[in-house]
């Protein structure tokens, strides 16, 4: 009887191949609630976003204050300049008739009406000056104090202007020895600056006929320009005084204005 041969060990099949592991998930842990650190980080993030938003609003407001208001001032000055050039004393009516020989050329004291041009050559700026110093009158232009002298006349031609870019922002740069020029429809008047002073808002003596000397008869023709001081505030006033040193007919442009 033939015995069955015992099977031979198959050593060639003994190799072990490890299974490939792809994306085996890690054991999950129970979900916990928000930590104190997460709450603090979220609060800081929200506060930061709020501050950025507030900063942008402030920047936009500042841009409007500087560029928006300056653009409006320039636009209104352009309109006033056209009115003045056409001989309009009241912006609500058309050009006035030419005055008859010997008639007074004093403009009607109508609030908001253009009465002349004020030039500050050192700053390279000029404005049409209107009648009146209420907030409405001087919103876009320097205004003439009612009751003070007119340009070139004996007394004190006094003008107020806001301390804003586009009007009297840099008035502090005007120093003794500089000049201011005033143009009317018939004449040019050149004033030499003699004083720049800081006073209180109640120091009305600066616009007296003889500046700073109320009750004293004026010894000449003066110009006074007033504005708030310091910038961005109004607890003081700046007053710049000049005295008339030259007068020209309107067809002779003063050399102080350049070409």
Q: Is 244 within a domain?
A: yes
* Residue 251: pLDDT band with limits 50, 70, 90: very high
SS (H, E, C) 41-105: HHHHHHHHHHHHHHHHHHHHHHHHHHHHHHHHHHHHHHHHHHHHHCCCCCCCCCCCCCCCCCCCC
Q: How far apart are CA 216 and CA 236, in angstroms?
A: 25
Mean pLDDT, rounded, of the chain:
81
Q: Is 135 within a domain?
A: yes
Q: Is 153 within a domain?
A: yes
CATH code assigned at 118: 2.40.260.10
How many domains is the chain built from? 1
- Rg over alpha carbons for the chain, rounded to the nearest Å, is 39
pTM of the model: 0.69
Contact, 90 vs 108, CB < 8 A? yes
Q: Is 29 within a domain?
A: no
- Which structural domain range is residue 116 located in? 67-92+110-251
> Would residue 132 be called left, alpha or beta, if left means φ above 0 and alpha means ψ between -120 and 50 degrees?
left
Contact, 254 vs 182, CB < 8 A? no
Q: Is 130 within a domain?
A: yes
More confident residue, 87 or 50: 50
Instruction: Specify the pLDDT at position 95.
Output: 38
Q: How far apart are CA 42 and CA 198, in angstroms?
A: 52
């Amino acid at each position: 009887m033939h015995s069955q041969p015992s099977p031979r060990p198959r050593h060639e099949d003994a190799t072990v191949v490890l299974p490939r592991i792809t994306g085996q998930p890690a054991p999950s842990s129970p979900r916990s609630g928000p930590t104190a650190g997460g709450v603090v980080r979220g609060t800081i993030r929200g506060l930061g976003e709020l501050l950025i938003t507030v900063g942008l609003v402030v920047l936009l407001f500042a841009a409007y204050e500087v560029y928006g208001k300056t653009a409006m001032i320039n636009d209104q000055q352009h309109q006033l300049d056209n009115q003045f050039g056409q001989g309009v004393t009241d912006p609500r009516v058309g050009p006035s008739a030419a005055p008859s020989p010997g008639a007074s050329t004093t403009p009607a004291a109508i609030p908001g009406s253009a009465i002349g041009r004020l030039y500050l050559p050192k700053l390279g700026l000029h404005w049409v000056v209107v009648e009146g110093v209420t907030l409405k009158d001087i919103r876009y232009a320097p205004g003439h104090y009612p009751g003070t002298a007119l340009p070139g006349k004996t007394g004190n031609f006094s003008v107020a202007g806001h301390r804003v870019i586009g009007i009297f922002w840099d008035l502090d740069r005007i120093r003794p020895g500089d000049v201011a020029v005033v143009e009317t429809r018939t004449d040019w008047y050149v004033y030499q600056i003699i004083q720049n002073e800081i006073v209180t808002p109640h120091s009305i003596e600066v616009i007296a006929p003889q500046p700073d000397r109320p009750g004293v008869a004026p010894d000449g023709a003066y110009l006074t320009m007033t504005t708030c001081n310091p910038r961005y505030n109004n607890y003081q006033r700046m007053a710049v005084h000049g005295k008339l040193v030259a007068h020209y007919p309107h067809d002779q442009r003063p050399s102080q204005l350049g070409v």
